Structures are given as C-alpha cells and as structure tokens.
Amino acid sequence: MFNLILFGPPGSGKGTQSERLIAKFGLKHLSTGDILRSEIANKTALGLEAKTLMDKGELVPDEVVIGMISAALDANPDANGFLFDGFPRTKAQSVALDNLLGERNEAINVVLALDVSEEELVKRLLNRGLTSGRSDDADESVIRARIIEYHKKTSAVADHYALDDKVVKVKGEGTVDEIFNALSREIEKRRKA
C-alpha cells in the first residue's frame, strides 16, 4: 500500500494533480473539500453547518473531517493506497490520520508539498471563481482568508511530517504536465525504495 498526502495552500493545484496521480498510480482519492461540497449539494445538516464556515474561508471542526476520513477508510478496505487531498489540515488531524492508519498497520509514505507564490494562488482562484460557482472563490477577501488560515493552522501539518523526514517540496508553478511529471518522479522513487 502507498499512502500519499498532496499538500499545499488553496489553489496550489492539489485537485488538478490528484486526478492525474490517482489514474497513474491506482490510488483512492480522498478529498475532504469534495466530500464537504457533496454534503452541501445534498443539503445535509453537516453540509449546512460546513457551508457557513467554508463561505468565510474558515476550517470546519477537526472532529467532522476526521469522522469523514475514518468512514472513507472503512469503506475502501481493498484500496491499493490513498491520496489525501486537503486533509490533514491541522496538527490534530495529522495525529488522528496517523492513528487511523496505524490501526490498519499502515502509515503515510510521503507528503508532497506544492510550492506556489501567494499572488499566483490568488490569481488562479479568482480566475476559477469566474466559472466554478464555488462561493469561496468569488471574493478576494475570502481567498485571502483561506490563505491566512493555511498559514495559521495548516502549515503545522508539514512540520509534523518533517519530523519523520517525509516532506518533499515540489515546485507548483509551471505547466500542469511539468508539475505532474515532478510529482510522479517523487512517487516512483519511493515506491521502488
């Protein structure tokens, strides 16, 4: 089994690259943002609660997303490995993920961290907001709030995995193909090891 966290700030290309990586490496894609948006679309109680926070660019509570990931791991006992996208996003989520994987005699193999400048992130997300219908892309102040939340709470995830030397920084600017090739090389190195 190979378990990967695709890490990076909002707009760094996690979703774009995840789609390609899961196809190439046969991993199961677990995106907490996608799961939350599907809860919102289905107008569930969880979705309604999450929407208020997401519209402000804030994180939803740890216990909510940890519960979602735990259920997704249980639902996919035969997966070859998981690609975590947008999770973990706090130190507490990282510890919970390590425990959930540990219970299954698994662990995170590598954290690939996409490095993109803040101005490029804002440009990409404003551009996507023209067509995506995502309310958290429509307004520059919400985009900037998401980036601030990332620096305040999410960068700690990289610090957590750096302790075990699992974090690899990858340049997240360039063409989608160039970045995909760089990510693929890092995965291939570790799958062989």
Binding site for ligand AP5 (CB under 6 A): 8, 10-16, 32-33, 36, 53-54, 57-60, 65, 86-87, 89, 93, 124-125, 128, 136, 146, 176, 179
User: In the complex, what is the shortest distance from the CB of residue 52 to ligand AP5, in angstroms, rounded to a whole number?
Assistant: 10
User: In the complex, what is the shortest distance from the CB of residue 61 to ligand AP5, in angstroms, rounded to a whole number?
Assistant: 7
Q: Which tokens hold the place of 83?
A: 């690609």
User: In the complex, what is the shortest distance from the CB of residue 49 to ligand AP5, in angstroms, rounded to a whole number?
Assistant: 11
Residue number, nearest CB to ligand AP5: 33
Q: Measured from the CB atom, is 57 or 166 closer to ligand AP5?
A: 57
CA-CA distance, 45 to 170, in Å (whole number)? 38
Q: Measured from the CB atom, is 105 or 128 closer to ligand AP5?
A: 128
Q: Measured from the CB atom, is 134 or 190 closer to ligand AP5?
A: 134
Amino acid (one-letter) located at 57: G
User: In the complex, what is the shortest distance from the CB of residue 102 to ligand AP5, in angstroms, rounded to a whole number?
Assistant: 19
Helix (H) or strand (E) holding 119: helix 118-129
User: In the complex, what is the shortest distance from the CB of residue 86 to ligand AP5, in angstroms, rounded to a whole number?
Assistant: 3
Return the SS3 of 171: strand
- CA 111 to centroid of chain Cα atoms: 10
- CA 82 to centroid of chain Cα atoms: 12
Q: Measured from the CB atom, is 2 or 87 closer to ligand AP5?
A: 87
**Beta strand 28-31 with 82-85: parallel, antiparallel or unpaired?**
parallel
User: In the complex, what is the shortest distance from the CB of residue 114 to ligand AP5, in angstroms, rounded to a whole number?
Assistant: 7
Which residue, among 23, 52, 24, has the nearest Cα to 36 in the 3D structure? 52
Q: Measured from the CB atom, is 91 or 165 closer to ligand AP5?
A: 91
Task: Return the CA Rg of the chain.
Answer: 16
Q: Which tokens hold the place of 65?
A: 């997303």
CA-CA distance, 45 to 23, in Å (whole number)? 32
Q: Measured from the CB atom, is 124 or 160 closer to ligand AP5?
A: 124
